[in-house]
């Protein structure tokens, strides 16, 4: 891949998109395109068609999505289903119409069945029922994966889907109403520490197991897919290691310096019991994560402290 190649990163201001942009820039790529949502509404089909036809990128990386945790998925099922399908369908179809040969679609491990065998293999897709707390987002992402596969099969284009495990890191979302578990915990522990080490109440039992990948490692996986023609249509991206939510909470508590009590609210849902990714396909091709969890959480907390003024009502 030539460093002058014109690459459009959809969602370039988000956590994943900004990490991809940073990683590509560090490798010398100098023809990157990004447009804010205020200037290009990716839900608007004609606007996306016109933009792609005008800019003529050689590659599209789709890191744009409406995302959130259990609470947001439960409260806005229609938006999570419809808006994500609109965004990805407009981008994928416009890329096909414009003759773009390479498209990288980013999804989530929630595409796999709730009770699939562990670790999750790519071939488990569509073999069972989804986790109800995020099925709307999952269904949208599944349609994106299958759309890229259909184009790959029918037109022979290099359209590939990367399914990351739970991502976290710099530029994460720390809004307690819409954030994922790790940044939500980080903010709760930080604010409780500032508030004389007050108790922290967390959802569920603490027993579900989760895997977490630092966003810079995800960005490197995207660049790997960019610079290589991957032989299959779907790849898991993760660490291959997981821990309980209780262990995660204790790790974040230690890094933030909170010394108060942790209270588990068992009336709240746990979500999927376990979601560990089988990442052997990507390992076999040569990609592997580099940032370990405790190091990544420390980097994320450092960034959080430096950027706390961006978040509403964060106590310092």
Our CA angle for 212, 218, 223, nearest 5°, is 165
Cα–chain-centroid distance for residue 18?
12
Q: Is 280 annotated as a binding residue?
A: no
Cα dihedral value 12, 16, 21, 27, nearest 10 = -170
Q: Is 185 annotated as a binding residue?
A: no
Q: Is 240 annotated as a binding residue?
A: no
In angstroms, rounded to a whole number, what is the distance separating the alpha carbons of residues 67 and 238? 18
Distances from the Cα of 135 to the Cα of 85, 109, 206, 245, 272, angstroms: 13, 11, 21, 21, 11
Q: Is 257 annotated as a binding residue?
A: no
Query: Which residues of 91-157 form beta strands (DSSP E)?
Result: 102-106
Tell me if residue 233 is catalytic. Answer: no
Q: Is 180 annotated as a binding residue?
A: yes
Q: Is 108 annotated as a binding residue?
A: yes
Calculate helix-pair angle for 245-256, 181-194, nearest 10 degrees. Answer: 40
Q: Is 167 annotated as a binding residue?
A: yes
Among 8, 29, 112, 137, the one annotated catalytic: 137
Q: Is 197 annotated as a binding residue?
A: no
In angstroms, rounded to a whole number, what is the distance separating the alpha carbons of residues 57 and 36? 16
Q: Is 141 annotated as a binding residue?
A: yes
Q: Which residues are annotated as a binding site for NADP(+)?
A: 11-17, 106-109, 141, 164-167, 180
> Binding-site residues for substrate, please?
188, 203, 210, 270
Give the residue numbers annotated as catalytic, written as ranges. 137
- List binding-site positions: 11-17, 106-109, 141, 164-167, 180, 188, 203, 210, 270
């Amino acid at each position: 891949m030539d460093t002058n190649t014109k690459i459009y990163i959809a969602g370039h201001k988000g956590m994943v998109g900004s990490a991809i942009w940073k990683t590509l820039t560090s490798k010398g790529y100098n023809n990157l395109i990004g447009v804010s949502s205020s200037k290009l509404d990716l839900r608007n089909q004609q606007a996306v068609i016109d933009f792609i036809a005008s800019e003529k990128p050689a590659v599209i990386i789709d890191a744009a999505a409406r995302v959130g945790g259990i609470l947001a998925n439960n409260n806005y099922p229609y938006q999570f289903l419809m808006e994500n399908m609109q965004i990805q369908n407009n981008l994928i179809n416009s890329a096909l119409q414009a003759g773009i040969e390479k498209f990288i679609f980013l999804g989530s491990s929630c595409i796999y069945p709730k009770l699939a065998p562990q670790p999750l293999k790519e071939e488990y897709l569509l073999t069972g029922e989804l986790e109800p707390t995020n099925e709307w987002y999952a269904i949208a992402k599944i349609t994106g994966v299958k759309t890229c596969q259909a184009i790959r099969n029918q037109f022979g284009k290099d359209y590939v889907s990367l399914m990351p495990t739970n991502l976290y890191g710099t530029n994460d979302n720390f809004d307690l109403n819409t954030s994922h578990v790790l940044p939500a915990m980080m903010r709760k522990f930080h604010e409780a520490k500032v508030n004389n080490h007050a108790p922290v109440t967390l959802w569920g039992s603490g027993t579900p197991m989760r895997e977490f990948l630092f966003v810079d490692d995800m960005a490197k996986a995207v660049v790997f897919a960019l610079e290589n023609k991957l032989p299959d249509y779907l790849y898991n991206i993760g660490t291959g290691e997981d821990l309980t939510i209780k262990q995660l909470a204790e790790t974040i508590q230690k890094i933030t310096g909170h010394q108060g009590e942790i209270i588990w609210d068992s009336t709240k849902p746990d979500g999927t019991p376990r979601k560990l990714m089988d990442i052997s396909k990507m390992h076999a091709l040569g990609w592997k994560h580099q940032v370990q969890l405790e190091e990544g959480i420390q980097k994320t907390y450092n960034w959080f402290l430096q950027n706390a003024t961006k978040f509403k009502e964060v106590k310092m």
